[in-house]
């Protein structure tokens, strides 16, 4: 006997033959059947199914779509998080566009292809589970389980990064953060500073790639009055300002070689001299740096000093991309919506199911920064209460991946296994129970799909 109840699937269809066919096809689910709007709404209220398949041609308008669209509107008003998959043979393209814009999760055209519909149904259940988990985590944002005080994540990969940073925060060692642009390197550096005993001191950040080479030395080490044309007063550099605190060197790989020598001397001796100065100034600061570049490769090419690298990289922390953080894109999108809607468009309250599916499916090459920018634009541009995939300029999720059925099933399996592992903190027994399979089967799947336990 299965200890876990089956997920509930509501089929709204007036054709009794098709009802039987669909009920037989979805033996893995607790299938509920309704033949009209009222019975569908009654079952929705009583049973709260996560997913609904809805035929638009319902009585009293079996040859049209008016009753079907009215049923869709009622379902979403009663239970907005329901994933509704609509079906119709009437003007399929127009019906599909209208259904998605009205809040449907997906659309399929009759006659029904059981295997194709089964894939859509399974994906809808997976997204519903992800959203439920994200809602739970979003409610928890700000409590003592939010990593590093401000970073929002449900992904074990990112939580591991946060635990590493918390562990080394008071060690006083130099930390190097490696990750693609937009992954949150400065946010992690600030989190490290706040978790350390230096939190009362200043956190000073400098983007080494954003400052012209001839000005970077003055920015870092300061200058004396009269040191060069335009130096009308003595100015402290970023290193000196960070005394007693933390100095964050972003894009450290862009520091030119001559300046690397001066930075190395400071790290070794903890003293600096301002440009044009003769006095040695002692500075006590903790250095955290970040880069998206391959520094070992730069060392081999003679573009970065090996001795400086090992001084800066006493602890190396690799930051996963957003696409590697299962479930975080949806979680962060809701966080950004809450933040931006208050400031820019208070009428926006949430997302259409299609938008959430698109967010979950998108590869996010620009990582969290891209997500933040798209969310800001979407909140500003949204016409209604719900953000659509068009507002995000992502398009329907099914248009983003052109794969065959086998590949699509494997991709769905990988995703649900990753989420099961995440929810059980990578406990194999717990994940296997959550998935309804044995431990050996889960081990086989992990090996087959190249996933880590």
304 shares a domain with 194: yes
Q: What is the pLDDT of residue 136?
A: 59
| Collapsed DSSP state (helix, strand, coil) of residue 207 | strand
pLDDT tens for each residue of 301-324:
999 999 999 999 999 999 999 999
For residue 82, pLDDT beyond 80: yes
CATH number at residue 429: 1.10.10
Q: Is 232 exposed, middle or buried (0-12, 13-18, 19+ CB in 10 A)?
A: exposed
CATH number at residue 330: 1.10.8.60
* Cis before 325? omega within 30: no
In a domain, 151, yes or no: no
Query: 137, 167, 184: which is the final residue of a domain?
Result: 137
Q: What is the pLDDT of residue 337?
A: 92
- CB 288 within 8 Å of CB 246: yes
260 shares a domain with 167: yes
Residue 442 neighbours by CB distance under 10 Å: 22
| Percent of the chain surpassing pLDDT 70 | 91
Q: pLDDT band at 140, cuts 50/70/90?
A: very low
Query: Beta strands 271-272 and 281-282: pairing type?
Result: antiparallel
Q: What is the pLDDT of residue 149?
A: 67
CATH number at residue 55: 3.40.50.2300
Q: Which of 65-69, 126-130, 442-446 has the lowest mean pLDDT?
A: 126-130
In a domain, 142, yes or no: no
- CB 328 within 8 Å of CB 367: no
Q: What is the pLDDT of residue 398?
A: 41
In a domain, 232, yes or no: yes
Contacts of 184 (CB under 8 A, 6+ apart): 151, 319, 367, 368
Average pLDDT of the chain is 86
308 shares a domain with 168: yes
Q: Which of 98, 5, 8, 9 is nearest to 354 (CA)?
A: 98
191 shares a domain with 288: yes
Q: What is the CA radius of gyration of the chain?
A: 28
34 shares a domain with 82: yes
Q: What is the pLDDT of residue 298?
A: 95
For residue 327, pLDDT beyond 50: yes
Strand ranges (E), 110-253: 175-178, 203-207, 246-250
Measured distance CA(375)–CA(120) in Å, rounded: 26
The DSSP secondary-structure symbol of 298 reads: H
User: How many Cα atoms within 13 Å fall on the side-chain side of residue 239?
Assistant: 26
DSSP assignment string, 305-324: -HHHHHHH-SEEEEPPPGGG
34 shares a domain with 91: yes
Q: Which of 452, 189, 177, 191 is nearest to 324 (CA)?
A: 452
Q: What is the pLDDT of residue 9?
A: 93
173 shares a domain with 315: yes
In a domain, 263, yes or no: yes
Q: Which residue has the tokens 């869709």?
A: 72
* Average pLDDT value for residue range 429-444: 85
Measured distance CA(56)–CA(359) in Å, rounded: 27
CATH number at residue 181: 3.40.50.300
382 shares a domain with 363: yes
For residue 336, pLDDT beyond 80: yes
205 shares a domain with 265: yes
The whole domain housing 390 covers 323-399
In a domain, 303, yes or no: yes
Q: Which of 258, 274, 241 is nearest to 308 (CA)?
A: 258
In a domain, 39, yes or no: yes
- CB 165 within 8 Å of CB 191: yes
Element (H, E) at 399: none
Given CA atoms 255, 263, 267, 222 in this order, what sign does their dihedral have?
negative
For residue 38, pLDDT beyond 60: yes
117 shares a domain with 37: yes
Q: What is the pLDDT of residue 406?
A: 62
Tokens of 267: 């790290």
Q: Which residues are registered as beta bridge partners of 55?
A: 87
48 shares a domain with 188: no
Query: Beta strands 286-291 and 246-250: pairing type?
Result: parallel
Q: How far does CA 165 lie from the centroid of its chain?
A: 20
In a domain, 202, yes or no: yes
- CB 20 within 8 Å of CB 60: no
313 shares a domain with 165: yes
In a domain, 1, yes or no: no
Query: 298, 319, 340: which is the final residue of a domain?
Result: 319
pTM here?
0.58
For residue 397, pLDDT beyond 50: no
The DSSP secondary-structure symbol of 397 reads: G
Tokens of 139: 């409610």
Element (H, E) at 403: none
Structurally, how many domains does the chain consist of?
4
Query: 319, 344, 375: which is the final residue of a domain?
Result: 319
Measured distance CA(123)–CA(357) in Å, rounded: 9
């Amino acid at each position: 006997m299965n200890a876990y109840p089956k997920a509930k699937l509501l089929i709204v269809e007036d054709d009794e033959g098709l009802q039987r066919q669909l009920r037989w096809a979805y033996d893995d689910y607790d299938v509920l059947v309704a033949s009209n709007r009222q019975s569908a709404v009654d079952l929705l209220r009583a049973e709260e199914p996560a997913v609904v398949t809805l035929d638009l041609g319902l009585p009293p308008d079996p040859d049209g779509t008016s009753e079907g669209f009215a049923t869709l509107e009622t379902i979403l008003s009663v239970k907005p998080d329901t994933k509704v998959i609509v079906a119709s043979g009437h003007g399929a393209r127009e019906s599909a566009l209208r259904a998605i814009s009205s809040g449907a999760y997906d659309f399929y055209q009759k006659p029904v292809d059981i295997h194709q519909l089964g894939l859509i149904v399974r994906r809808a259940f997976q997204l519903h589970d992800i959203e439920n988990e994200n809602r739970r985590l979003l409610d928890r944002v700000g409590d003592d389980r939010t990593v590093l005080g401000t970073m929002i994540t449900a992904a074990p990969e990112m939580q591991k990064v946060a635990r590493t940073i918390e562990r080394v925060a008071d060690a006083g060692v130099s930390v190097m953060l490696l990750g693609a642009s937009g992954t949150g390197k400065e946010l992690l550096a600030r989190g490290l500073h706040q978790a350390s005993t230096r939190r009362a001191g200043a956190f000073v950040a400098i983007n080494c790639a954003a400052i012209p080479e001839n000005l970077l030395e003055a920015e870092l080490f300061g200058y004396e009055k009269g040191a060069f044309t335009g130096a009308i007063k003595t100015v402290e550099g970023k290193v000196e300002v960070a005394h007693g605190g933390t100095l964050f060197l972003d894009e450290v790989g862009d520091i030119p070689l001559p300046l690397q020598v001066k930075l190395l001397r400071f790290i070794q001796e903890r003293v600096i001299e301002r440009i044009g100065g003769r006095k040695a100034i002692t500075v006590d600061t903790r250095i955290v740096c970040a880069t998206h570049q391959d520094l070992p490769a730069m060392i081999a090419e003679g573009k970065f000093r090996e001795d400086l690298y090992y001084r800066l990289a006493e602890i190396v922390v690799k930051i996963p991309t957003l696409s590697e953080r299962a479930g975080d894109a949806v979680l962060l999108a809701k966080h950004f919506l809450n933040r931006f809607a208050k400031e820019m468009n208070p009428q926006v309250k949430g997302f259409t199911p299609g938008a959430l599916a698109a967010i979950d499916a998108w590869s996010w090459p620009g990582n969290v920064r891209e997500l933040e920018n798209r969310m800001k634009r979407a909140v500003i541009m949204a016409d209604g209460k719900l953000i659509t995939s068009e507002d995000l300029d992502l398009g329907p999720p099914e248009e983003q991946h052109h794969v065959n059925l086998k590949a699509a099933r494997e991709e769905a399996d990988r995703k649900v296994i990753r989420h099961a592992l995440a929810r059980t903190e990578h406990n194999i027994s717990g994940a296997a129970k959550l998935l309804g399979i044995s431990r050996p089967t889960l081990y086989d799947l992990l090996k087959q799909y190249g996933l880590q336990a």
